[in-house]
Amino acid sequence: MDGKIRVGVSSCLLGNRVRYDGGHQRDRYITDVLADYFNFIPVCPEVECGLPVPRETMRLVGDAEHPRLITSKKGIDHTEKMIRYCTHKVQQLENENLSAFIFKKNSPSSGLHRVKVYGSSGQPQKKGRGLFAAAVVNRYPFLPVEEEGRLHDAPLRENFIEKVFCYHRWKMFLQNNGGYKELLIFHTDHKLQLMAHSPKHLSKMGRLVAESKHVSREDLLGKYQECLLEALSLKATVKKNVNVLYHIMGHFKKLISSDEKSELLEIINSYAQSYVPLVVPLTLINHYVRKYRIFYLLEQSYLKPHPDELMLRNHV
């Protein structure tokens, strides 16, 4: 991994005083933990589209699919101004080489999920998406995106960060102009990670790689990328992880003693029953993989999808 991963972020989450009231919404997990691995590119659509700090609060009004951005008291409509800004900004973001975006929840500009939209009854429905967040998702449908609030949920956080690191590796593969051989290596190294998310996608991607000589490179990589990100969006459940753990054990079960095998099976079973987190069986497995130098497993991204220091598998 050369340098930090470039990630867009709602500017107020970094502690920048860009909010309507002149304050910020610094998120310590982002600034104190993720910042060690991610190089954040701050974006405040409201300030960057020309609105002042402080400013009147705004909300989404009308149809949830095509809401208007209106100030709460004076009713000033900023929709066109924001849409003009978004069109320009999402294009400009292409030069930033982002591998993810973290949005501020509930914002009519930056919120990603369940943003309030006020209908004619005056009653809000949590069905909307901030205008800028919508523009980013439309322009970059494969980009991993999340809200800071959801990053405080351990399984969602692990899933998002795993996806960011994997997408970043994929982007590096694309940037290095990898050919068939490199795609085969990428696919082989990610097999167990894909299996933990979706065995169905793993088979489909295997077929894509096997038949790759018969399709254009552009077609192949487009389809492969779509499957990769679709697979990673599916949750790696305890049941699917247990299946992968047994599969891994199959690679060295003849090398370890029957006592060691019983101990590992017992630990996998404890994980299956949610008595211990995923990091427990994986620590023992990593020990055997290193001890017996099992090359296929040593290269598997599943055994190290993100830095250990983030401790993401201590809570899932």
Q: Which residues bind to ligand SF4, rule: CB under 6 A?
A: 10-12, 18-19, 44-46, 104, 107, 109-110
Tally of CB atoms within 10 A around 273: 10
Nearer to ligand SF4, 78 or 104 (CB): 104
Query: To which residue do tokens 């972020």 refer?
Result: 9
Angle of helix 238-250 relative to helix 279-291, nearest 10 degrees, comes to 20
Shortest spacing between CB 88 and ligand SF4, in angstroms: 16
Residue 174 buriedness (CB in 10 A; 0-12 / 13-18 / 19+)? exposed
Q: How far apart are CA 239 and CA 231, in angstroms?
A: 16
Residues 6+ apart with CB under 8 A from 181: none
What the block records as the tokens of 11 is 């500017």
- Output the CA–CA distances (angstroms, integers) from residue 36 to 1, 26, 31, 170, 278, in the order listed: 13, 16, 8, 21, 23
Residues 6+ apart with CB under 8 A from 27: 13, 148, 151
β-strands 68-71, 58-61 pairing: antiparallel
Q: How far apart are CA 24 and CA 104, in angstroms?
A: 11
CA neighbor of 1 nearest in space, from 29, 43, 37: 37
CA neighbor of 26 nearest in space, from 42, 8, 12, 7: 12
Nearer to ligand SF4, 110 or 241 (CB): 110
